[in-house]
Amino acid sequence: MKDLGEARWILQMKIERSDMRLSLRTISMSQEQYVEEILEQHRMASCNPAKTPMRNNVQLPILNEAKVDITKYQRCIGSLIYLMICTQPDIAYSVGVLSRYVSCPGKAHMQAVKQIFRYL
């Protein structure tokens, strides 16, 4: 076994520690690089930013058949769930609502996912 020092990166999370006294020392974690990667992957890297992860009074219909690519929608939701669990609890409600529609997503659902990407 070998001591490699303090961790700086783990599971696509950047770990930063303050250099203050031990009693005031803080640790912060971010997934900025992961966010940039998923935005580029879904072609949302140069999108306009949004102030909230979900718009007010969004109507998401229950569909009998998918109107958009199911696999693409599921990948988007999966990447958002990982981000939500690790470092972004502020998107939890929005991702939870959108994850209900992974079997039959429509255009309104995909627009709501893009709203979350814009928020990030």
How does pLDDT run across 56-106, given as a tens digit for each residue?
A: 888 888 888 888 899 999 999 999 998 898 888 899 999 999 999 999 999
Give the pLDDT confidence of 107-120 residue by residue, as tens digits. Answer: 999 999 999 999 98
Max Cα distance, the chain (Å): 59
CB 117 within 8 A of CB 78: no
Both tokens of 101, joined, read 């529609």
Provide the 3-class DSSP secondary structure of residue 45: coil
| pLDDT value of position 114 | 92
| Nearby residues of 83 by Cβ (< 8 Å), 6 or more positions away | 31, 34, 35, 38, 91, 120
Listed by start position, the domains of the chain span: 9-119
Mean pLDDT of 17-30: 72
